[in-house]
């Protein structure tokens, strides 16, 4: 369950939080304590850091079981991530449509995230844009999304 606008709602996907010790993460009324890095997640983190030149100390793993799982409009702008967070997102499994809209609602961008794609939401993205993974009524397979982040306020 998540707390959104003061109401308890079912989680729209399954999640796991991994990272360095002390990288606590709070969103939607839940505090996530980090599980240790697995060898696979550590390998992926190093590859992403080499590719992007960014440094990450945690990852939110999301499992979207089918098209009924999704996530609404939001920005990854929690206090723990600092004033201008960078998020690197790897998509594995079924392709899904991913949407951006400017916070002033004047611009939109849709893209298809294919298996193996890497999306870097660089500086300015979380402050100026919101994003979502809409639900789908058509048959959609399972998808794992790994969102690597840098927690700057550790607990």
76-80, 103-107, 144-148: least confident range: 76-80
Cα separation, 19 vs 154, in Å, equals 11
Quick check: 1 pLDDT over 60? no
**Tens digit of pLDDT for each residue in 41-57?**
999 999 999 999 999 99
User: Could you tell me which residues are beta bridge partners of residue 100?
Assistant: 109, 131
Q: Is the overall model pTM greater than 0.75, yes or no?
A: yes
**Tens digit of pLDDT for each residue in 86-98?**
999 999 999 999 9
Quick check: 131 pLDDT over 80? yes
Position 12 confidence tier, pLDDT thresholds 50, 70, 90: confident
């Amino acid at each position: 369950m998540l707390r959104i606008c003061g109401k308890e709602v079912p989680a729209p996907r399954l999640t796991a939080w991994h990272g360095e010790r002390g990288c606590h993460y709070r969103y939607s009324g839940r505090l996530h304590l980090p599980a240790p890095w697995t060898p696979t997640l550590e390998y992926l983190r190093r590859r992403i850091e080499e590719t992007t030149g960014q440094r990450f100390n945690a990852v939110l793993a999301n499992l979207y079981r089918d098209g009924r799982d999704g996530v609404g409009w939001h920005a990854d702008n929690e206090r723990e991530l600092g004033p201008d967070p960078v998020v690197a997102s790897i998509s594995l499994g079924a392709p899904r449509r991913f949407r951006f809209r400017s916070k002033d609602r004047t611009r939109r961008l849709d893209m298809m995230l294919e298996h193996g794609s890497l999306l870097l939401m660089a500086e300015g993205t979380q402050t100026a844009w919101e994003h979502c993974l809409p639900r789908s009524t058509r048959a959609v397979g399972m998808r794992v999304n790994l969102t690597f982040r840098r927690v700057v306020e550790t607990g």
